[in-house]
Amino acid sequence: MNDLAISVHDLVAGYAPEVNILRGVGLEVRRGEIVTVLGPNGAGKSTLVKVIAGLVAVRGGSVQLFGEDIAEVAAHLMVRRGLAYVPQINNIFARLSVEENLEMGAYTQGQRTEVRRGIERMFDLFPQLWERRRQLAGTLSGGERQMVAVARALMANPKVLMLDEPSAGLSPKLVSVVFSKIREARDLGVTILIVEQNAKAALAISDRGYVLAEGRDQVNGDARELLENTEIGRLYLGILRGLS
Ligand SMILES: Nc1ncnc2c1ncn2[C@@H]1O[C@H](COP(=O)(O)OP(=O)(O)OP(=O)(O)O)[C@@H](O)[C@H]1O
Ligand SMILES: [Mg+2]
């Protein structure tokens, strides 16, 4: 068994021809870990998870999932390989109910009873969503929407879950609720990669962290050490919410 869930080496990627946003990024996420990628606006954090999710092409280097090269795997096939991704924006179906959103997350599973069981499991994990199960997802609060997005991704029974800015736009109280749910998901056996600007909240639930800046991974280490390292905070994280 491969101990590494995600393994990225010397990754080069970008959008416009000949302009690389990622210029040699390395990242490893071991099975069962929560790893957070931090970095300033525009550093390429979302680009990094989009490359891993198969949405942005690999221009150089390698991306592996459980030891298998996934650089050429199409995004829609990633869920079947055990990788789920919650984008930074537009991560729910606003005009569907909470329950219908969860059903959509189970599209890879044929069995009706399996889908029902999955939905029940999600309502166990997110009891406040059960109360709102018939409500249109677009009418929920920011925190509730984020929970729907996470629950929908978990409906596919992923081995690895990637979350892009799960705390964006949430009040401090909701941030802690959403992050504690992410931790519960990990305790259920899901490996988690988070991209965040809220360094403090994300590192508090993470095992390890990376700082992405100027196209490269600048620092990585134990989450607590990153949180306590004032030099790193001053150099790379000072401009981020949470540590400033
Ligand atoms: N679809 C796109 N086409 C062209 N350029 C893009 C596209 N998406 C992102 N970029 C550019 O790539 C760079 C990195 O963007 P990215 O969204 O990965 O940063 P980020 O670290 O996630 O930032 P934020 O913290 O603001 O979410 C930015 O300069 C951005 O303008
Ligand atoms: Mg982003």
pLDDT of 238 higher than 80: no
- Per-residue confidence (pLDDT) for residue 112, from 0 to 100: 85
45-83 pLDDT, tens digit per residue, is 999 999 999 999 999 999 999 999 999 999 999 999 999
Percent of the chain's residues with pLDDT above 70: 95
Give the pair of three-digit tokens for residue 225: 């050490």
Domain limits, the chain: 34-56+74-237
pLDDT of 7 higher than 90: yes
Q: How confident is the model at residue 88 (pLDDT cuts 50, 70, 90)?
A: confident
Nearest residue (by CA) to ligand 1, atom 3, is 15
Position in ligand 1 atom list of the atom nearest CA 88: 27
Q: Is 96 exposed, middle or buried (0-12, 13-18, 19+ CB in 10 A)?
A: middle
176-214 pLDDT, tens digit per residue, is 889 999 999 999 999 999 999 888 899 999 999 999 999
Dihedrals phi, psi of 142, to nearest 5 degrees: -55, -45
Ligand 1 close to Cβ of residue 198 (< 6 A): no
Give the pair of three-digit tokens for residue 231: 């030099």
Name residue 60's beta-bridge partners.
12
For 34-56+74-237, the fitting CATH number among 3.90.226.10, 3.40.50.300, 3.90.25.10, 1.10.3720.10 is 3.40.50.300
Nearest residue (by CA) to ligand 1, atom 7, is 15
Ligand nearest the Cα atom of residue 212: 1
Ligand 1 close to Cβ of residue 14 (< 6 A): no
Q: Of the residues 47, 197, 211, 214, which should be mutated to test ligand 1's pocket, given the most ligand atoms within 8 Å of the CB?
A: 47
99-129 pLDDT, tens digit per residue, is 999 999 987 766 888 899 999 999 999 999 9
Ligand 1 close to Cβ of residue 45 (< 6 A): yes
Q: What is the pTM of this model?
A: 0.93
Q: Which of 187, 186, 212, 216 is nearest to 199 (CA)?
A: 212
